[in-house]
Amino acid sequence: MPLAVVVIPARGGSRGIPRKNLERVAGRSLVARAVRSALSAGVGPVVVSTDDEEIAVEAARHGARVVRRPSGLATDTAGSEGVVLHVLDQLDAHGEALPPVTVLVQATSPFLDPLDLAVAVHRVADDAADVVLAATEDHSFRWTHDADGVASPVGHDASHRPRRQDLPPQLRETGAFYAMRTTGLREHRNRFFGHIALHEVRGLTSMEIDTPADLAHARAVAAHLLDPSSAPHLDVDAIVTDFDGVHTDDRASVAADGTEHVRVHRGDGLGVARVRRAGVPFLVLSTERDGVVAARARKLGVDVVHGSDDKAGDLLAWLAAHDLDPARVVYVGNDVNDLAPMSLVGWPVAVADAHPEVRAAARHVLTRAGGEGAVREVCDLVLAARDEHTPVSHGTTSHVPSSPVPASSTHAATAATLRSYS
């Protein structure tokens, strides 16, 4: 029997951010990031509870089981405990043995560290606590005010302001995860019972998304952590690119007879030739109807669909025709009409000068701009991944950590703690 079952509530409605659980950070939806982080913890199956068909499909695509929740548990006022208990009841009703630990994971914590989750589960499984929840250091001085606007301190004496290092330890509940003894949760029907312990998470792993500003902050942080100058492991089976703004600098000169001329980069042609020799399928997918797109594709010797009114649909048709797994395909785009096809693949990539929305949706941002060697750069990354001797995993497993937090002494200490529970 696994140590735990991880439950991720992900309803379709949300007041603060409409359809929040499908919003993307560094190219992955919040629900996908939560599922992949929870699976990486290696403590047991991951179940997404949802009332939304699109979320269900997204969760299943990334490896989660899906439990459809009743409408009474999909309202703004429905508590998380009710959702988790419903999942346990469903598993029980189908004759499945319930693991000793149940974990509630919130998809609104985009940088959840799987190691933190694993340590929390082991602490409960080893009887060190009944409940272990994520918390982070917080030494802020809190205030409130009454109806007349008169302020008063909360939990401290305003006339005495000690230095931060002189304060007793203060931790804030992050809401990222709660590891609970299954029997206790079902008995008390509340996530807080018995011996409650805190697992301290640090830095970015404590971030939570509740508002559009939080979402923008998370995307900015992810863009910084996924350093555009770093080389990702692009272990993919095919490359798809837009044309204007990717193969070109998005400019065109127009002759008196209406003929358009664009500028391309010779290095891109050499890069495409190398991936073709390596047997990597390549598609140019463009809404542009001018014959220059087809002409360039013919010169490169690659597939082309131009004049597309449905880039997502045309991409899916091409993938099906070549029997390709979308999770193992890279799509390179530059503008908002690339967002739909980018959402379908495992590696959405943006050129350096892409529209801000495209950069935010990308899993990786290239160092070169469109028409300045961006295509060559992505070709080189794909070939480099193929040339590496280190074994790589296939399927939908990401080669970028679900929680892109730099390694630190904190994580080394956490690893040592996990070993002590093994």
Domain count, the chain: 2
User: Are 203 and 318 found together in one domain?
Assistant: no
Would you say residue 399 lies in a domain? no
Rounded CA-CA distance 324/298 in Å is 22
Residue 28, domain member (yes or no): yes
- Tell me which residue has tokens 């492991």: 233
**Residue 400 confidence class, pLDDT cut points 50, 70, 90:** very low
Indicate whether 137 and 203 sit together in one domain. yes
User: 61: domain CATH number?
Assistant: 3.90.550.10
- Model confidence at 148, pLDDT cuts 50, 70, 90, reads confident
d(CA 212, CA 253): 40
**For residue 269, what are the contacts with CB-CB under 8 A and spacing of at least 6?**
299, 300
**Which is higher by pLDDT, 251 or 134?**
134
Cβ-proximal residues to 79 (8 Å cutoff; 6+ apart), any chain = none
DSSP 328-369: GEEEEE-SGGGHHHHTTSSEEEE-TT--HHHHHH-SEE-SS-
What mean pLDDT do residues 291-317 have? 95
CA torsion 105-111-114-120 (nearest 10°) is: -50
Lookup: tokens for 213: 């500003």
User: Residue 355 above 80 pLDDT?
Assistant: yes
Instruction: Give domain status of residue 405, yes or no.
Output: no
Question: Beta partners for 29?
Answer: 24
Q: Is the dihedral of CA 52, 54, 55, 56 positive or negative?
A: positive
pLDDT of residue 225: 66
Length of the chain measured in residues = 422
Shared-domain flag, residues 52 and 194: yes
Chosen domain end from 181, 197, 225: 225
DSSP codes joined into one string, 221-244: HHHHHS-TTS------SEEEE-ST
395 lies in some domain: no
**Which range of residues forms the domain containing residue 137?**
4-159+166-225
Average pLDDT for 162-187: 85
Q: Which CATH number belongs to the domain containing residue 343 in this structure?
A: 3.40.50.1000
In this structure, the answer to whether residues 104 and 65 fall within a common structural domain is yes
| Of residues 335, 305, 307, 339, the one with CA closest to residue 319 | 305
pLDDT digits (tens, 9 = 90+) for 88-112: 999 999 999 999 999 999 999 999 9
Output DSSP code: residue 264.
B
Beta bridge partners of 202: none
Residues 185 and 322 occupy one common structural domain: no
Tokens (6 digits) for 418: 């996990």
Q: For 8-31, how does the pLDDT look when each residue is reduced to its tens digit (9 = 90+)?
A: 999 887 777 888 999 998 878 999
Is residue 325 located within the same domain as residue 211? no
- Is residue 420 domain-resident? no
- The percentage of the chain sitting over the pLDDT mark of 90, rounded to a whole number, equals 56
Q: Which two tokens stand for residue 409?
A: 């002494």
235 and 385 Cβ atoms separated by less than 8 Å? yes
